[in-house]
Amino acid sequence: MGETADQTPRGLSIFSLLAIIVTGLIPIWGVTNYGWDATQIVVLFWLETLLVGIFTWLRVRDAERNAAQDEPFQLSVFFLIHYGLFWLVHGVLTWLLVLVFMPGGGWNAAWLSIFGDRSFWLALIGIGLMLTMMYWRDWARPQAWRGADPAVEMFRPYGRVVALHLAVIGGFWIVSLSGGARNLVILLCVAKMLIDVGVSLWQAGFKVRLEAVR
């Protein structure tokens, strides 16, 4: 067990750090170039938490390959159910805010303004690509799962997601009450990115490494 533990990456790779920053810049790109409002931003963040959950589930399953337990993949199934419920509750709150603060038109207008925008889908694909590259380069390719604890991996996203959830919901509320000013929407995106970077560095012990595996 000691041999595999030494293979576990230490700290946050510079690649993952840059990928997190690029991911944070994507919604700012949408606001500045395509005139996104706060509703599109908050729904994009909600869908991002779904993608984070999917890749966390993959990490937990990978880590369970070497875990000594009678029922393999037990934690990954628990995570799937627990995180899925968390994401659904987050979604209900998100859409309630969207419908309350959407300027007229109700559900259909909200749906079309968000999912009818091609740039929104491009942004979501971009975020998915960033997460995929982070998973492949810093986890799957170096087989970092060999020395990983599935329980640790299971709880890893919650600090980040809860912090983002509170910040985004609170920020969306403030932006909407202020009339949805563009500068405030950009400020919301910047705040989300800074929280994302800060929590990721905190989870990595504020260590940044240049290589995939130390």
- 8 found inside a domain: no
Cα–Cα dist 2/45, whole Å: 38
Residue 214 counted as domain residue: no
Q: Is 19 part of any domain? A: no
So what's the pLDDT on residue 4?
42
What is the helix (H) or strand (E) element at residue 145, kind and residue range?
Answer: none
- Judge whether 162 lies within some domain: yes
Does 17 reside within a domain? Answer: no
Domain count, the chain: 1
Asked if residue 203 is part of any domain, the answer here is: yes
Is the predicted pLDDT of residue 6 greater than 50, yes or no?
Answer: no
Indicate whether 22 belongs to any domain: no
Domain that holds residue 103: 41-209
90: amino acid identity, one letter: H
Q: What is the pLDDT of residues 130-141, one digit of tens each?
A: 999 999 999 998
For residues 45 and 164, the model is more confident at 45
Report the percentage of the chain scoring pLDDT > 70: 84
Backbone phi and psi for residue 143, each to the nearest 5 degrees, phi listed first:
55, 45
Average pLDDT (36-57) is 90
d(CA 193, CA 199): 10
Residue 179, pLDDT > 80, answer no
